Amino acid sequence: MVRSEMAFELVCTVCGFRHDGSRYRLHCDRCTGLLDIEYDLPPGTGARTVPGLPGLCRYAPMLPIKDPAGFVTLGEGNTPVIPLHGVGRDLDLRLLFAKLEYFNPTCSFKDRGNAIQVTVLKDLGITAAVDIAGGNAGHSLASYCARAGLKFIGFGYEDPQSPKIRAIEQTGAEIHWIEGDRRDCSEAMAEFCAANGILNLRYSQSAYFIEGQKTIAYEIAEQLDPLPDHIMAPVGNGSILLGLWKGFREMVEDGRIQAIPRLHAVQSEAFRPLVAVIEGYDWRPSLHADTVAVGIRISEPPRLAALASACQGSGGTAVAVPEASILRWYRRLASSDGIFVEPTSATVIAGTATLIQRGRIDKGDRVLTILTGYGLKEPIPESAATAN
């Protein structure tokens, strides 16, 4: 099945104005609100797989791509779900599972979003793009750009020696180094793009990226029957949580599932903007705030209200976990189950422990944790050796 052009629209999350997919859009033309993608399909035809198409392509009717034949893939998706027997025993939780997103090609969940993002760029004839170089997102984006023959220009502001930056260098990407913080880096990118006429991707605001992330919900529905009672996701910018929420809602609308699992967001105590919104207090990061969970070291996620809707609309919540608990479960995952992930991923087990203590998760519940990134993509924290 090949969808005709314009089978999707970008709808403003603030004023509802609808835009066609003829160019790369991050914001509403009328009010600058962020956008969501909607599809015009008869009921019962949407959240289904297309037989014969590989990887994420099999969900083509519900993706913003023109032609599955042009799909940019490195073999992402189809990540395993396994039971966590050891950590489950530690938590006295019999039905604890993990979806191993580090099985994606660049060893993190970002590959789902970037496969779609870069396919859209290619569809639109865009040949070069700029974004922040750093983290799993930068490594993934640089890799998909290399695969598609697009020039990737990355802007970095911290840690030039990190394994992820070194990996980005291998893709042939051009990297510009900026003195300052993330905000300075964003300003420098905007100036560079305006001066050179090159697209500023800003993936963390992108509706296309979330469309890639929602495929995780489709896969979970194929892999776990019955669906889990709870899903635990680490939240920085929150694209997994937003993807889960959108994917499950599409399946409900399509009549494929009846109810959505409770979606719980896990943040570190040092960076907890979503927890603050849900619990109703003002929050700003302290001056020297830091966390070993570097993947969720985000103080201003662009879709904060939507993240709160995903938690509350599904009957879930958001929880902040302390550093000691992150490190304890980082190590226990490796020692009890042989699973070596980034500290960011271990937050979901720490969050599960907290929700059990609070009575939000019962011992007989089915709990799925999303393990987002592989352990060797980050230096191993010195303090992990003594965590228990």
In the complex, the residues that contact Zn ion under the rule CB under 5 A are 12, 14-15, 17, 28, 30-31, 33
Distance between CA 210 and CA 302 in Å, rounded?
A: 13
| Torsion angles phi and psi, residue 90, rounded to 5 | -60, -35
3-state secondary structure of 65: coil
| Residue 156 and residue 103 in contact, taking contact as beta carbons nearer than 8 Å | no
Distance between CA 82 and CA 144 in Å, rounded?
A: 27
End-to-end CA distance of the chain: 52
Minimum distance of Zn ion from residue 27's CB (angstroms):
8
In the complex with Zn ion, the residue whose CB is nearer, 11 or 252, is 11
Nearest to 273 by CA among 316, 221, 318: 318
For residue 4, give the DSSP letter: P
Minimum distance of Zn ion from residue 160's CB (angstroms):
39
| Residue 111 and residue 141 in contact, taking contact as beta carbons nearer than 8 Å | no
Minimum distance of Zn ion from residue 21's CB (angstroms):
16
Edge-first strand listing for the sheet containing 18-19:
18-19, 8-12, 35-39
Q: Which residues, including other chains, have CB under 8 Å from residue 146's CB and lie 6 or more apart?
A: 152, 171, 172, 173
| Torsion angles phi and psi, residue 288, rounded to 5 | -110, 30
> Which secondary-structure segment (H or E) carries 369?
strand 366-371
Q: How far is CA 21 from CA 9, 65, 115, 241, 365, in A?
A: 6, 9, 17, 24, 42
Minimum distance of Zn ion from residue 292's CB (angstroms):
38
Cα 169 versus chain centre, distance: 23
